[in-house]
Amino acid sequence: MEQLTPAQIQDADLQDWRHLWRALYTRFDTGSFARGLSLVAAIGEAAEAAGHHPDITLTYPSVAIRLTSHDSGGVTAKDVDLARRISTIAAADGVPASPAGTAQVDLALDTADQGEIDTFWSSVLTGSPDNVDGDEIADPAGQAPLMWFQRTDAHETPRQRFHLDVQIPADELDARVEAAVAAGGRRVEDLGRGRAFVVVEDAQGNRACFCTVLDR
């Protein structure tokens, strides 16, 4: 199905929803877990009937929803139709939409040579070098934020002002470090913190830290 333009999505007048990059987002303030669970069940039935399935996050006070058409790489008429249906379901149950404050956090890394480091960062974020798609890395499990590479001129490596802390299960630490090293990175010298955190860096000196609950 054809991807809709931002203007087409705006014309759809989805007041409960916000369009960010490639998806529609909203949040419904349920006020309780039980009410949220009931709303999720109703949305699930509508999704099954439509043959189109949103990403849903259920928490104690709210239900957050993300709609996108993966096969089209963005928002399509299927998403607009299901968004309207979900809004109708929530309104009928007296659950208000609260889309204000909607945000999506992506990671952007300036580099003069993406190919030198992209599989490293794919391995750091997803455990595999195979999740690079064009200038992006997307975690198929949905646990890590989207990362993309912005082209820049080559320059002397500056002192890094921030790094990624990637929280992982302790039993996955060795495999994740090995994947990062195999993808062109290196393990930074022992910092004396055991398995609490292990620092790795890509070929351009950008660092990330694998963190576990051990040795703290």
DSSP 159: P
Average pLDDT, 10 consecutive residues per value, the chain (216 residues): 92 95 93 97 98 96 95 94 98 95 83 95 96 94 88 78 81 93 90 81 91 80
Q: What is the DSSP pairing of strand 55-58 with strand 62-67? A: antiparallel
Domains recognised in the chain with CATH numbers: 6-92 (3.30.1360.20), 107-211 (3.10.180.10)
DSSP element (H, E) containing 108: strand 107-111
The pTM assigned to this predicted structure is 0.81
Torsion sign over Cα 123, 125, 128, 130: negative
